Amino acid sequence: MQGVASLVLMPHKTTGTRCSVSSASTEVGAREKSPSLSNPSETKAKEVTYSALIGDIEDGGLKAPHLDSIIETQRILCCKKLASDQPSNWKKIVLHYLEPVGGKLILCCDFDLKKLPIKLPAFYEECFKSFAKCSAATHTSIQDQNRQDLSKAIVWNNKFICIGGKSVYFKNLAEKGILRIGDLISENNEFIVKSNYKLRELNTSPLDIFRLISVIDALPVEWRESLNTLASTADEPFNLYNEIKLIISKTIYKELRNRIITPPTAQLNFKTHFVNDVLEWKEIYSLPFRTSLDTKSREFQYKLLNRCLITNSFLNKIGIIPSPACSFCGEMNESLEHFFISCRYTKDFWAEVIKWFDNQGVKIKHLSVKDIMFGILRCEDKLLINHILIIAKQYLYSCRQNKSLPSIKVLNLKIKTIHQLETMIAKSNNKLKAHNMKWDKYKNY
Ligand SMILES: [Zn+2]
């Protein structure tokens, strides 16, 4: 418990909101030294937000760990341990603090820490705060409660049932079996305070009756109106801890993390270039991870999809180079779209690539702008074609850095090397069958 305690008590935000995925270390180094880097929006396009990086691959993330969610998961697991029947010394302490609100019962209540008549030590307060964030019992509002949920909601420590501004817990009544709102209703669909038979059955004292009346009076008006149509819950067993015992850290972490995830900002930028196209982002993001085994290809496509690749247009904007002109033709501004698609040298290169595919026995009539940027999402030989497309873009970009023009012969050599590399990986992983299916049409010459 000590270890967990030291991990979870962190008063400040532990993680930043932005994380830089740089394109080339030398260029980024130069960028950092640049005195003219005054407008943050200029550099925005070269970063992936942290809230996007923590997402799953198909959502454009890299499954980066989200520390705040990990810490909150640990806090919630502490509450799960409290719910378990296993005796422990630390539980004695926390249960002592929780005694005025019914001990473990609090875990099933729709509580609000501020409305509880107790003050917990800081560590447990943090744990219960995180627990309330995820607990189904605390995710309610007065209006949204449907009738069945309402009758099952716990009366005690309920943030909507307050007397003198605080939620209440009457031990005597709880021990007599009055736990849920449905327990306040008798078989005749009226409040039990009106049923002498029920009150006798419960063996209530005048003080108990007085408390029952005050609790019923404190019910929100919306609930009181629908209560006379509620069924009594007298026969249903109370076993709410079971749900808490079943929670697992992975599920809690995902739930907490999913509340923070945002889509990569580059999506918006691409949408302005592809106004008439439907972009299937899940497919687009996961494609490079399915097509290529080599991490360099995956990394390159990830940077392209997040528009993190440096272009002359960008370097010029931030004052590092005097001209935004394209590295190949020198005639137009070197934007990502110009460099990978509309430059005349690039166009010639893609025509050569289509011929190369033709020699391999793979028929591609035309490569659209969408195909080049995101890959061909539906086609025969999908894995091979899309991997080659990524290698080709990677090669184009390396030509820009080496200040040379692209040549299909060099691309062919690169493909050869990657094929050899993937064959070795497939052999060592015993996955030759899948490997051979992917490279089936590839003629190694
Ligand atoms: Zn050009």
Task: Tell me the CA–centroid distance for residue 419 and ligand 1, in Å.
Answer: 30
- Side chain identity at 15, as an amino acid letter? T
Task: Tell me the CA–centroid distance for residue 379 and ligand 1, in Å.
Answer: 29
What's the pTM?
A: 0.75
Alpha-carbon span 227 to 253, nearest angstrom: 37
Task: Tell me the CA–centroid distance for residue 391 and ligand 1, in Å.
Answer: 20
Task: Tell me the CA–centroid distance for residue 326 and ligand 1, in Å.
Answer: 4
Task: Tell me the CA–centroid distance for residue 335 and ligand 1, in Å.
Answer: 9
Task: Tell me the CA–centroid distance for residue 325 and ligand 1, in Å.
Answer: 8
The SS3 call for residue 162 is strand
What pLDDT does 378 receive? 87
- Side chain identity at 212, as an amino acid letter? L
Task: Tell me the CA–centroid distance for residue 48 and ligand 1, in Å.
Answer: 26
Give Cα separations from 232 to 168, 187, 198, 365, 376 (angstroms): 21, 6, 12, 70, 59
Task: Tell me the CA–centroid distance for residue 219 and ligand 1, in Å.
Answer: 72
What pLDDT does 149 receive? 73
- The DSSP output letter for 231 is P
What pLDDT does 101 receive? 95
How far does CA 279 lie from the centroid of its chain? 21
Task: Tell me the CA–centroid distance for residue 342 and ligand 1, in Å.
Answer: 7
Task: Tell me the CA–centroid distance for residue 39 and ligand 1, in Å.
Answer: 27
Give Cα separations from 267 to 28, 276, 279, 421 (angstroms): 23, 14, 9, 32
Task: Tell me the CA–centroid distance for residue 332 and ligand 1, in Å.
Answer: 6
Per-residue pLDDT of the chain (445 residues; tens, 9 = 90+): 333 333 333 334 444 444 444 444 333 333 333 334 344 444 454 678 899 999 999 999 999 999 999 999 999 999 989 988 888 999 999 999 999 999 999 998 989 999 999 999 999 999 999 998 887 666 666 666 666 678 888 899 999 999 999 999 999 999 988 888 888 888 777 788 777 777 787 888 889 989 999 999 999 888 887 776 665 555 556 666 777 777 788 888 999 999 999 999 999 999 998 998 889 999 999 999 999 888 889 999 999 999 999 999 999 999 999 999 999 999 999 999 999 999 999 999 999 999 999 999 998 989 999 999 999 998 888 999 999 999 999 999 999 999 999 999 999 999 999 999 999 999 999 999 999 999 999 987 6
- Side chain identity at 93, as an amino acid letter? I
SS (H, E, C) 365-423: CCCCHHHHHHCCCCCCCHHHHHHHHHHHHHHHHHHHHHCCCCCHHHHHHHHHHHHHHHH
Please check whether residue 383 is in contact with residue 291, taking contact to mean a CB–CB distance below 8 angstroms.
Answer: yes
Task: Tell me the CA–centroid distance for residue 56 and ligand 1, in Å.
Answer: 35
Please check whether residue 265 is in contact with residue 60, taking contact to mean a CB–CB distance below 8 angstroms.
Answer: no
Task: Tell me the CA–centroid distance for residue 370 and ligand 1, in Å.
Answer: 19
Please check whether residue 27 is in contact with residue 303, taking contact to mean a CB–CB distance below 8 angstroms.
Answer: no
SS (H, E, C) 328-381: CCCCCECCHHHHHHHCHHHHHHHHHHHHHHHHHCCCCCCCCHHHHHHCCCCCCC
Task: Tell me the CA–centroid distance for residue 380 and ligand 1, in Å.
Answer: 31
311: left (phi over 0), alpha (psi -120 to 50) or beta: beta
Task: Tell me the CA–centroid distance for residue 393 and ligand 1, in Å.
Answer: 14
What pLDDT does 235 receive? 57
Alpha-carbon span 392 to 113, nearest angstrom: 58
Task: Tell me the CA–centroid distance for residue 310 and ligand 1, in Å.
Answer: 15
> What does the radius of gyration of the chain's CA atoms come to, in whole angstroms?
32
Domain-wise residue ranges, the chain: 67-254, 267-439
Task: Tell me the CA–centroid distance for residue 26 and ligand 1, in Å.
Answer: 23
Task: Tell me the CA–centroid distance for residue 350 and ligand 1, in Å.
Answer: 14
Task: Tell me the CA–centroid distance for residue 89 and ligand 1, in Å.
Answer: 71
Task: Tell me the CA–centroid distance for residue 417 and ligand 1, in Å.
Answer: 28
Task: Tell me the CA–centroid distance for residue 272 and ligand 1, in Å.
Answer: 21
Task: Tell me the CA–centroid distance for residue 349 and ligand 1, in Å.
Answer: 12
Residue with tokens 């592809």: 274
Alpha-carbon span 309 to 277, nearest angstrom: 23
